[in-house]
């Protein structure tokens, strides 16, 4: 299978590192905003083609699928373009920055029947898979999910400390991970509330946010997000169930007493991004819907759209 990577930034290289471990996969093309960067990354990962436009990769006859790691505002339009060109597509989170655009992408997937997957990595991290397996087996009933998503940000930089061409967002990007994960573990979200703090004068985005969710099962979720936290960075999940408590930190898991849990055998890898890419490739090869398909994650964007409307209304009150 030949895959084109579009968006060769920090996260794009994580996908390329993961794909190296998937049998029978070749990187056919690397696309980035800067031709020099695209060529450098293509050479590093053995891709025979590089360029600066998605259309260049889509025109290659031997490209089977595309992974999009581009700026948020481009995701929906580019995902549709990939499917119009007959290519399977995995689009990094978030799928879009509006509910209307998310609906347009799912309509295109239904029209074409191609695999369209969204990068909700939390579904694949071994830590969350361990908890999910407990829930599915009836060994754990989730009562509350308490989540902290904390960063320290004053400039528009990516994970490598390089300038971004787009502005990150607590709701449409970082909250999307938890909103989808909570629905994945607990069922359809039936109630959602949000509050946000002051907006940064230069970045133009809220730097702090608080979200409450309730699922059809009765489970609740409290999500705190901040770009102001000068301390441990990342996202930390506390699962409080009827029979156990678990704390997930990306691919690692401990119980409520901070005792490590052995995740050996839960999945074939301890790398969530690699597992995500393995599922994408397997779904294409097997002609099936992948975990984290656009159909499965669509409701997350309904919830985010409703929360975004609530924030707009709150801005009107101030």
How many angstroms separate the Cα of 16 from the Cα of each of 29, 161, 272? 11, 19, 13
Domain count, the chain: 2
Residues 138 and 232 in one domain: yes
Residues 134 and 283 in one domain: no
Residues 126 and 116 reside in one and the same domain: no
DSSP code for 166: S
CB atoms within 10 A of CB 34: 10
pLDDT of residue 155: 66
Average pLDDT over residues 227-239: 91
pLDDT at 164 over 60: no
**Does residue 262 surpass a pLDDT of 50?**
yes
Residues 23 and 113 in one domain: yes
Q: For residues 168 and 311, state if they share a domain.
A: yes
Looking at residue 87, which CATH number applies to its domain? 3.40.50.720
Q: Do 97 and 114 fall into the same domain? A: yes
Specify whether 48 is located in the same domain as 184.
Answer: no
Residue pLDDT, tens place only, 37-89 = 999 999 999 999 999 999 999 999 999 999 999 999 999 999 999 999 999 99
Tell me, yes or no, whether 210 and 277 share the same domain: no
Give yes or no: residues 282 and 312 share one domain.
no
pLDDT band at 162 (very low <50, low <70, confident <90, very high): low
Question: Residue 186 belongs to what domain range?
Answer: 122-269+302-317
- Express each pLDDT in 90-141 by its tens digit: 999 999 999 999 999 999 999 999 999 999 999 999 999 999 999 999 999 9
* Distance (Å, whole) CA 112 – CA 287: 13
pLDDT of residue 318: 46
The CA distances from residue 14 to 86, 168, 194, 266, 298, in Å, are 25, 18, 31, 21, 24
- 114 shares its domain with 126: no
Instruction: Specify the 3-state DSSP secondary structure of 44.
Output: helix
pTM for this predicted structure: 0.92
Do both 219 and 164 map to the same domain?
yes
We report the CATH number of the domain holding residue 234 as 3.30.360.10
Instruction: With a cut of 90, say whether residue 274 has pLDDT above it.
Output: yes
Residues 223 and 154 in one domain: yes
């Amino acid at each position: 299978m030949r895959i084109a990577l579009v968006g060769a930034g920090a996260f794009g290289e994580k996908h390329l590192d993961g794909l190296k471990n998937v049998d029978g996969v070749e990187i056919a093309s690397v696309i980035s905003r800067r031709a020099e960067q695209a060529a450098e990354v293509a050479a590093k990962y053995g891709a025979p083609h590089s360029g600066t436009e998605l259309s260049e990769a889509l025109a290659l006859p031997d490209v089977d699928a595309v992974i999009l790691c581009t700026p948020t505002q481009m995701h929906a339009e580019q995902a549709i373009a990939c499917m119009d060109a007959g290519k399977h597509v995995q689009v990094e989170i978030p799928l879009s920055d509006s509910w209307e655009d998310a609906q347009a992408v799912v309509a295109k997937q239904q029209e074409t029947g191609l695999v369209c997957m969204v990068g909700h990595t939390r579904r694949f991290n071994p830590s969350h898979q361990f908890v999910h397996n407990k829930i599915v087996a009836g060994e754990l009933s989730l009562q509350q999910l308490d989540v902290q998503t904390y960063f320290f940000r004053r400039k528009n930089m990516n994970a490598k400390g390089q300038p971004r061409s787009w502005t990150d967002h607590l709701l449409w990007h970082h909250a999307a991970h938890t909103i989808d994960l909570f629905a994945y573990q607990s069922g359809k979200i039936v109630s959602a509330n949000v509050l946000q703090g002051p907006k940064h004068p230069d970045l133009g985005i809220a730097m702090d946010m608080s979200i409450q969710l309730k699922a059809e099962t009765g489970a609740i979720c409290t999500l705190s997000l901040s770009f102001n936290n000068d301390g441990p960075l990342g996202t930390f999940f506390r699962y409080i169930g009827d029979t156990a408590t678990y704390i997930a930190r990306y691919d690692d898991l401990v119980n409520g007493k901070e005792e490590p849990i052995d995740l050996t055998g839960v999945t074939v890898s301890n790398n969530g991004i690699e597992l995500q890419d393995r599922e994408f490739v397997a779904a294409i090869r097997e002609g099936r819907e992948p975990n984290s398909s656009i159909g499965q994650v669509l409701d997350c964007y309904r919830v985010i759209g409703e929360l975004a409307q609530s924030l707009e209304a709150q801005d009107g009150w101030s």
